[in-house]
A and B are shown apart, each in its own frame.
Chain A
């Protein structure tokens, strides 16, 4: 004959905390019902059988390694954003013509217009070029003078050799020489202007490159 209370009694016992278990052990029914007490001892033996597991010591291992690797492996929050920030700055530089210049005392950031320093640099270049042009003109005047003297001497020689004395012939030859001299001077002036223009373009692109490099350096630093 099996007791109808056994299952619920055992369930209560094995799922209860230590206080509940102690209380149930004092139940009058348990003392009188052999069925319940027998099944209880069987399951208790099962629990203690499971508890017979002999704890094994942990083999040596390096838990510090996890900590060290974890700290070096997980990048700092701010460092993760460096590539994104760099891309954003580059976008600003190209999209809004942003210019950043280091004056030594601080940074100047400007949008969509030429940098002040750049403008003053261009003014300086122009001033130097004007100065050079004045010097060139002075030199040219000297060359003109020398050329005139030479031409006069040459004319004298030619006249002496060809013995052309007529005033009409003399006038024609002088005009010819003079036209040739003016043409030579004009050619020289044009060549010089071309040289100066190409120098100016080179200087301008060099300055733009230098300005871009300094902006990039600013970002990297």
Chain B
């Protein structure tokens, strides 16, 4: 709650023209945004580009933040929109090679799987992170988005519903089915190794 209020103060000061407050606000959230972008793109450079695009979007619409929800929830809505835009623009993000098995068609599932799979070993990721990414890549974008918000952003299902604009129950169902799918994937990869 304290940090929620701190965010509001920083936003107010940034809107009043205080550069230092804006920088403090960015510093507070950039790590979570950057790691999200890294999980999404799998590349340092692409993640940095996407993160900068996100914060540019945040800056431009900062005056529209009403403070009804937490800033982190509001921020993730921009992250989500920018991610979808980026994926639409550049189809090279690896998870597009998945065949979605989710109950409803995702807003980007409609894109064909044209790009070749880039092995994570070629990227500057730790072994653990590369392994996690390989499994995340096998989820549909909708399942992956829910996992991202629940596991990595620590959001509640109510907040997730606000971002994705679905009911709390739909968000819960998607998360549970994502976990079950991951279990099968992990079992399969364990069998192979």
The secondary structure that dominates the A interface is helix
**Among candidates B31, B60, B128, residue contacting A53 with C-beta atoms closer than 8 Å:** B128
The residues in A between 37 and 64 inclusive whose CB is less than 8 angstroms from any CB of B are: 42-43, 45-47, 49-59, 61, 63-64
- Tell me whether B55 is interfacial, beta carbon within 8 Å: yes
Given contacts A59-B48, A70-B60, A71-B17, contact A54 B128 (CB under 8 A): yes
The answer to whether A53 touches B186 (Cβ under 8 A) is no
The answer to whether A50 touches B180 (Cβ under 8 A) is no
The answer to whether A53 touches B35 (Cβ under 8 A) is yes
**Among candidates B26, B60, B126, B151, residue contacting A54 with C-beta atoms closer than 8 Å:** B126
Which residues of A are found within 8 Å of B26, using beta-carbon distances?
Answer: 63
Number of A positions contacting B (CB below 8 A): 29
Which residues of A are found within 8 Å of B52, using beta-carbon distances?
Answer: 61, 66
- Tell me whether B165 is interfacial, beta carbon within 8 Å: no
Q: Scoring A residues 120 to 148 as 1 if CB is less than 8 Å from chain B, else 0, what string do you get?
A: 00000000000000000000000000000
Which residues of A are found within 8 Å of B59, using beta-carbon distances?
Answer: 66-67, 70
The answer to whether B186 touches A46 (Cβ under 8 A) is yes
The residues in A between 15 and 57 inclusive whose CB is less than 8 angstroms from any CB of B are: 15, 17, 42-43, 45-47, 49-57
Interface residues of chain B, those whose CB is within 8 Å of chain A, are 14, 17, 19, 22-23, 26-27, 30-31, 34-35, 38-39, 44, 48, 51-52, 55-56, 59-60, 126, 128-129, 132, 135-136, 147, 151-152, 156-157, 172, 175-176, 179-180, 182-183, 186
